[in-house]
Amino acid sequence: MPRLLHTSIFRIALVYLLLLGITLAVLLGVIYWSTAGLLERQTDETVQAEIRGLAEQYRAEGLVRLMEVIRERSGPGGSKENVYLLTGPRFAPLAGNLAHWPAAAAGEEGWLEVELARRDDPSGVPHVIRGRAFDLAGGYHLFVGRDTVERGDFRDIVAGALAWAVVPALLLGLGGGALIGRYSLARVDAVREASEDIVRGDLSRRVPLSGSGDEFDRLAVTINAMLARIETLMGGMRLVTDSLAHDLRSPLTRARSAIDMALRHPGKDEGQGAEQYREALEQTAAELETILRTFEALISIAQAEAGVDSLKLNDLDLSALAGDLLEVYQPIAEDAGVELNGVISETITVAGHRQLLAQALANLLDNAVKYSPSGGRIDLTLRRGAGGVAQLAVADNGPGIPAEDRDRVLQRFVRLDDSRGTPGSGLGLSLVAAVAKLHGAEVSLDDNAPGLRVTLTLPAA
């Protein structure tokens, strides 16, 4: 309950209630004042008409007739609201339904409003009476007025209406505010609980949807998409750190045991010892080389993934670059006993980063040589495709990659089981994918029947 009072919706509801209450009160107030004014004018007119009638009678037939008329009119047959009093010179009542002469002095235009007891009201409660007093010839006095009980009744009606309108409106508004507040609180609580679980480490937790498609649902969908992205990124990070730790362990362990061996078994004579130290250092240097290559590959991938903002793409002669790499890899392929052929269209330029593109192509050629059996054949082709795109492809006739693994091998540190025997850390194709993304290019891995064909499709310069 106290939490409900603190929700913004409940507070807004309270403010609206206050405004509603004020509006209702002002509205009824205006109605009251204008109607009360009207009633007052009517009272005055009635009294005035009464006075005119009585004056006529008095003028025509004298005091006795006036007394008669007043008796008649203030009797049970007359109007209940009209009051009269005719007194002698010493204010002793002669006729009428007022108990005694009003003590107050007349106000504007001879009108007075006084509280007086009525003769015809046995309770003796004073009534508020509005009327005028006159002096007649012979020292007689006449008061003609009207009981304002109607005005009081009307005020009670308006006050009643105010109560009947305002109290239920306030209760309804309060209830509605509480209900909406509770609803929004429940929805926010769902988000809060999910977030708390995530803070506690459960990255797979998601914000539940109500299915109504309202603004809370839309917010939840966005939050869930964000959480999914974070989970993927965290998974990727974990994979990288785990794999890196695993990958660095073996070369570091091998380097340490080489050093240990050399230190523990020094040669008997000078020359032999020097030879052993030399071997140990060479082995260590080779292992360090592996580690450095892994780091360099990771840094290149990070660089390419960081995007175009930090790297500038320049017009680049892709034909020349492919030709250079073909020249570099031909002797390597020859050593491995595979044939490397190139079909390169001239003067194909793209907007590109020379070093990263060269590294990506080198990785593809390296894989082709590494995974092809001796006697195999590799084809490097560069040609213009539909719409001026540049198509760079490396195809071999080795074991190939099963269709279901073709997406996976583009991730960092992923190596297929068949390749465990060959050196490598599973970063080559990740760099190719990152470089492709940087260039807005597409990588596709296809079956070369047999073997693997990797095609990079770069947009026209």
Ligand X SMILES: Nc1ncnc2c1ncn2[C@@H]1O[C@H](COP(=O)(O)OP(=O)(O)OP(=O)(O)O)[C@@H](O)[C@H]1O
CA dihedral 289, 294, 297, 303 (to 10 degrees): -110
Determine contact, residues 341/380, Cβ cutoff 8 Å: yes
Select the residue interacting with ligand X from 419, 437, 442, 459 (CB under 6 A).
419
- Provide the token pair at 85: 């009093």
- Alpha-carbon distances, residue 369 vs 118, 339, 357, 412, 432 (angstroms): 125, 9, 18, 20, 16
Q: Which does 368 bind (CB under 5 to 8 A by kind): Mg ion, ligand X, none?
A: ligand X
Site string for Mg ion, 382-421 (x = CB under 5 A): ----------------------------------------
Strand partners, 147: 129
- Alpha-carbon distances, residue 433 vs 221, 371, 396 (angstroms): 29, 19, 19
Confirm or reject binding of residue 424 to ligand X (CB under 6 A).
Answer: yes
Nearer to Mg ion, 4 or 248 (CB): 248
Which range of residues in 40-48, 165-173, 265-273, 363-371 is near Mg ion by CB under 5 A? 363-371
Site string for ligand X, 352-371 (x = CB under 6 A): -----------x---xx--x
> Least distance to ligand X from the beta carbon of 405, Å?
7
> Least distance to Mg ion from the beta carbon of 303, Å?
18
Confirm or reject binding of residue 425 to ligand X (CB under 6 A).
Answer: yes
Confirm or reject binding of residue 428 to Mg ion (CB under 5 A).
Answer: yes
At residue 339, φ and ψ (nearest 5 deg) are: -95, 130
Q: Which does 173 bind (CB under 5 to 8 A by kind): ligand X, Mg ion, none?
A: none
Confirm or reject binding of residue 426 to Mg ion (CB under 5 A).
Answer: no
Site string for Mg ion, 308-347 (x = CB under 5 A): ----------------------------------------
Alpha-carbon gap, residue 425 to 423, rounded angstroms: 7
Residue 10's nearest CA partner among 175, 141, 228, 172 is 175
Determine contact, residues 28/164, Cβ cutoff 8 Å: no
Determine contact, residues 434/311, Cβ cutoff 8 Å: no
Nearer to Mg ion, 97 or 359 (CB): 359
Which residues contact ligand X by CB under 6 A? 363, 367-368, 371, 396, 398-401, 409, 414-416, 419, 424-430, 452
Which residues contact Mg ion by CB under 5 A? 367, 428
